[in-house]
Amino acid sequence: MTDFILTTFDWVPDIPRGYVRDLRVRWALEESGLPYRVESVTFGERGEDHFAHQPFGQVPWLTDGDTSIFESGAILLYLGERSTALMPHDLAARNKVIGWLFAALNSVEMATVPWSLFMFSQDSEDTPGRRMLENFLASRLRHMEKVLSENEWLAESFSIADIVMSDALRLVDRFDGLAQHKACREYIARATARPAFKKAHKDQLAFFAAEDARRNT
């Protein structure tokens, strides 16, 4: 078996560090024990080669021999098919994991990421659109709070769905958006206490720090 190759940026500014999407893939790979190595593409100029792997000029992508997979959701599903530590074989459990994987990406993160853009930009204007966005997020969090107060993980056991959901919620928590959502905060704490998360997070920070060091010498 050849190693999976995870490609991320060689460097990113401080703000996104610890949140770059390769984190989700590193985390899944660490949970699975599947062999991998990390390669990089320049954050600055993005060439045709980059776009051939990732049509938005983003990261990560994963290569498995001749196969190249883009979109972290698709990569996690691909890895989930290859490790029961990430997604069970049992059909009913598998369907539940996949439903929650899409829910994390399309029902929850569709609210959390745009909301975070307003927080990053320190926008404090209360406008009609902003209120709709806040209500959209509040509705999603209200439902997640109920689900997470009743369940340790989204499916029967920890899965790729929890990697995405906890990481999406982590971004809200970064801006103190979960003050009223104890079950969400406790879920993030359970997820990020896992050794695989800790290693993935530490490795991402170290990867970008190594490039800082290289540039400064």
Which residues of the chain form contacts with a copy of itself (CB under 8 A)?
55-58, 67, 69-74, 77-78, 91-92, 95, 98-103, 105-107, 109-111, 113-114, 117-123, 125, 127-133, 136, 139-140, 143, 147
What is the DSSP annotation of the chain?
-PPEEEEEES---TTTTTTSTHHHHHHHHHHHT--EEEEEE-SSS--HHHHHH-TTS-S-EEEETTEEEESHHHHHHHHHTT-TTTS-SSHHHHHHHHHHHHIIIIIIHHHHHHHHHHHHTT-----HHHHHHHHHHHHHHHHHHHHHHH-SSSSSS--HHHHHHHHHHHHHHHTTTTTT-HHHHHHHHHHHTSHHHHHHHHHHHHHHHHHHHHHT-
To the nearest whole angstrom, how small is the minimum distance from the Cβ of residue 171 to a copy of itself? 12
Nearer to a copy of itself by Cβ, of 14 and 126: the residue is 126
Nearer to a copy of itself by Cβ, of 110 and 205: the residue is 110
To the nearest whole angstrom, how small is the minimum distance from the Cβ of residue 126 to a copy of itself? 9
Nearer to a copy of itself by Cβ, of 132 and 189: the residue is 132
CA distance 184 to 173: 9
- Do the strands 36-41 and 61-64 form a parallel or antiparallel pair, or are they unpaired? unpaired
Nearer to a copy of itself by Cβ, of 127 and 217: the residue is 127
Nearer to a copy of itself by Cβ, of 122 and 217: the residue is 122
Nearer to a copy of itself by Cβ, of 186 and 203: the residue is 186
To the nearest whole angstrom, how small is the minimum distance from the Cβ of residue 135 to a copy of itself? 9
